Amino acid sequence: MATMQLPDSFLWGGATSDFQCEGGFGEGGRGLLTRDFETDGSVDTPRQLTLKMADGSRGSVNSSFFLCQPIPEGAEPCIYDDQYYPSHQGVDFYHHWKEDIALMAEMGFGVYRFSITWSRIFPTGDEETPNEEGVQFYVDVVDELLAHGIQPLITICHDELPAHLAKTYGGWESRHVIDCYLKLCRVLFERIGTKCKYWLTFNEINAIAGYIATGSRKTDEQTHYQCIHHMFVASALAVKMGHEMMPGSMFGTMYASSEIYPATCKPEDQLRRMQCRHETQLFSDVMAMGYYPYYAQDIFRRKGVKLVMEPDDEEILMEGQLDYVTFSYYRSAVVDAESPLLRMGGKPENPYLKITPWGWQIDPIGLRYVMNEIYDRYRKPIFIVENGLGAIDEMLPGGTVDDTYRIEYLTEHLREMAKAICIDGVECLGYTMWGCFDLVSLSTGEMKKRYGFVYVDMDDKGNGTLKRSKKKSFDWFKRVCETNGTNL
């Protein structure tokens, strides 16, 4: 058996997104984001996008992932004083970043993945010059990280965009937004480029949908894939510009990558599994290989999609291929011949796996499988940029949390990750645990679905002292970083 010794260069760390942790709404010149109109929800109550209807009355539509609804004619996203909007406060990283980075440093992080609030740098997205205060905030964060020996890994755009770009242009429906995105990239590369090697052009591009992430009021397949095509082009142009401006920089895009099993060895189930896999692989294939794969024709035919492309687009995609492939991995799914063609799989349930209270199937071996599958497909280095357990943590009287269940979840996943690297030979650059300090859940907008090594005193409605406290897993992960995983 090969020794389970990870490479010395392996990067351990954590990951967050701006709208789930940053807050600082209305401060430092930050403009409105599409996310700012989204309420909290729960596992049973979908998050809502609040609206002012054409007749002036109050309305809302479901904003969650693939269930999101279009915005009716004449209605506009609107913020109401009596509603709670989690992106406005996040967990107030905007005022706690030094403390949060110090805690990461204490754990021995080598890398911290975070995302940029686009509207903090370009409040509407349409300005010619950036908001200096916004740029400086991220320069300061990066400098603080580097002073602690932590490399930044920056997600340029995490499922959101300035609300003005959505309202005025329909978001990514318009090629104008490609230029706005590149303007953002140029500022980041100029001001942070020498300090940051690892970049991600977009987050979970295969799992986004609707107004919040694409800026479009519509949710039909034609509009969705046209928006995605524009994001592909924007990403490829950003990669090209980044390579020119920052020699040695590495570009990826992040994919939501749960493993999918066929329900039985019946050939029809296996065929369905492959077709579901293609629904996701389409995204990584285009971006990592530089062209639309053969099976895209079938997907677009079924969905009635006819992409509008400019003459140079194919060349742009080819020239802007990713350097490394990154993904999130939380769970696995099962499909049978009757399952709908979903990007993330779906029912039936897997009788061999446990599930979390949010219905996510826990599957450490699936991580090893996915790592092999992705590396085998692209033969480019991979990076696990999200993994973790969302759980209900209880603060004990002594001021700590006994999250042994989280340690168990992570230990099992990290052991499988080590096998993929040390036994199977997958080239994996690092691992960033999702939500290293507690933050607001993306899917439900709750605070009680916690992932962190650090507990943040805040409830589902944003009340609390925001005090940070170490959980039991804090010292455990510190040991993982110190020993480069040999204690697993």
What residues are labeled active site?
204, 386
**Interatomic CA distance for residues 297 and 295, integer angstroms:** 5
Specify the residue for token string 């895209």.
296
Pairing mode, if any, of strands 332-335 and 382-386?
Answer: unpaired
**Judged by CB under 6 A, does residue 386 bind ligand BG6?**
yes
**Interatomic CA distance for residues 226 and 140, integer angstroms:** 36
**Judged by CB under 6 A, does residue 201 bind ligand BG6?**
no
Beta bridge partners of 152: 112
**48, 131, 235, 441: which one binds ligand BG6 (CB under 6 A):** 441
Min dist CB 360 to ligand BG6, Å, is 8
Part in contact with ligand BG6 (CB under 6 A); list of ranges 238-246, 281-289, 419-427, 440-448: 440-448
For ligand BG6, give the closer residue by CB, 50 or 203: 203
Which one, of 434, 430, 483, 453, lies nearest residue 110 by Cα? 430
Backbone angles phi, psi at 41, to 5 degrees: -155, -150
Residue window 355-384: x/- pattern of binding to ligand BG6, with contact defined by CB under 6 A: ------------------------------
**Judged by CB under 6 A, does residue 17 bind ligand BG6?**
yes
Part in contact with ligand BG6 (CB under 6 A); list of ranges 161-169, 181-189, 300-308, 438-446: 438-446
CB-based closest residue to ligand BG6: 443
For ligand BG6, give the closer residue by CB, 124 or 443: 443
For ligand BG6, give the closer residue by CB, 37 or 292: 37
**60, 63, 131, 203: which one binds ligand BG6 (CB under 6 A):** 203
**171, 320, 390, 452: which one binds ligand BG6 (CB under 6 A):** 390
For ligand BG6, give the closer residue by CB, 259 or 386: 386
For ligand BG6, give the closer residue by CB, 174 or 284: 284
**206, 328, 350, 361: which one binds ligand BG6 (CB under 6 A):** 328
Instruction: At 115, list the tokens.
Output: 């995302």
Residue at 248: amino acid letter: G
For ligand BG6, give the closer residue by CB, 214 or 441: 441
**Judged by CB under 6 A, does residue 443 bind ligand BG6?**
yes
**Judged by CB under 6 A, does residue 284 bind ligand BG6?**
no
**Judged by CB under 6 A, does residue 411 bind ligand BG6?**
no
Beta bridge partners of 162: 33
Residue 230 zone, left/alpha/beta (φ > 0; ψ -120 to 50; rest): alpha
Which one, of 191, 106, 91, lies nearest residue 140 by Cα? 191
Min dist CB 256 to ligand BG6, Å, is 6
Task: Using alpha carbons, list the distances in angstroms from residue 43 to 37, 204, 380, 391.
Answer: 19, 20, 36, 13
Residue at 77: amino acid letter: P
Task: Using alpha carbons, list the distances in angstroms from residue 133 to 68, 186, 188.
Answer: 34, 17, 13
Part in contact with ligand BG6 (CB under 6 A); list of ranges 34-42, 240-248, 284-292, 442-450: 442-450
**How many residues bind ligand BG6, per CB under 6 A?**
13
Render 429-461 in DSSP notation, one character per residue.
Answer: EEEEEETSB----TTT--SSSB--SEEE---TT
CB 13 within 8 A of CB 432: yes
CB 82 within 8 A of CB 231: no
For ligand BG6, give the closer residue by CB, 185 or 439: 439
Residue at 206: amino acid letter: N
Q: Which residues contribute to the site for ligand BG6 (CB under 6 A)?
A: 17, 20, 203-204, 256, 328, 386, 390, 434, 441-443, 449
